Structure 1
Amino acid sequence: MPSLGEYDHTLVKGFSYDPDLARSLMTEAGFKDGKGFPEMELDISESNYLNIIVAEAIQKMLFDNLGINIKINYYSLSVLIDKFTNAKSDFFGVTWLADYPDPQNFLQIFNGRVVPETEYDENGDAIILPSYTNFPRYKNDFFDACYDKGIHAIEQDSAIYYYLQADSALIADAALLPIYYGHNIRLVQSNVHALPINSMEYRDFTRVFLSKK
């Protein structure tokens, strides 16, 4: 997750770009040059142009480097949300934005305790219940324990420690593939003073003042 306050995301070991290692692992698994590997489907929103560009770039890179075929499905946002909330997507691309500056804002998505238990109808067929906000239905007891300790910690240092542990477990399980973090550039005229610039886009204009150019 991106850096928030004292949260040092560099302590979480992420994924590296290593096509040679990926090819070696594919061969070891019996899929040399992608032969025999099933086609994958990636569901994304048809209205998010940036996600479309990223998805199509990933599609090309996986084919060029590993021989993996990915079919991209473009849906309206409402249909896409219905699919991944109800476990109808194998892979899906989404963007998540924080509305308050705390690592919990991102980690809550993977809280295993909100995933509904599977129910069965009279014929014994599974009934898939919606899972919100844990759309991937990720479950890891260690992650959940660290997440709980983090949200109940009194001291910020303790909370950050447990959040980092949870974050590391999440990445180690490859429950998601973080692709990029957005960066915004703000251009402010030289006669504008005390305009707050922060990652949450909070603006307190009561402190802003102008001077003569």
Structure 2
Amino acid sequence: GLNTADLPAKVLANRALLCSELGLADQRIAAAHQVHGARLRCWELDEHPPRFGSGAERSRIEEADGHLTHAGGLGLLVLVADCFPVALSGGGQVAMLHCGWRGVAAGILERAAQEFDASPVAFVGPGIGRCCFEVGDEVRARFGDVPEAASGRMLDLRAVIEARLLAVGVRAFEHLDLCTSCRSDLFFSHRRDGGVTGRQAAVAWLD
């Protein structure tokens, strides 16, 4: 990402490659400055996000950790490197969420789910597993409603995400149950790499 220590030219080249692989123009990718919160950005049919492939438009990018739209052909993108990408879809709309522990504790999942008229389908992508996610007492205390997610100092954030979604009526799940910290062959990991790392992109859209 452009907020990492990576070379901007390299980041923009990777973004152009992503757009090409997805078959979406860079002005049809909605991204945000992620702040580990619970704000959703709702995109209307006639809106045009800042160009994802242009560093010159960075000043137009808003702060948000989730996106929601009814618009077809608009890619909703989040960047992750241990946090979980969570997509929700149903009723002619789609949401894409950046879910770290702070955003989950702040209610981003519940906020997104309530935007759907009927229970959406959820897809939870790769993120840091219980095997690698050691946290302090103050973090574990935020998830006392999901006691099975904590084991000593280790936290299963994936289990918390599923429990929170179940609590608001989501019943259909797909998981890509891989640990970003363990799988250095596949993923960047903020924790494993001491904060000096790249980002995975997760994108959801309506055809």
TM-score with structure 1 setting the length: 0.28
Larger Rg: 1
More strand by share: 2
TM-score with structure 2 setting the length: 0.28
More helix by share: 1
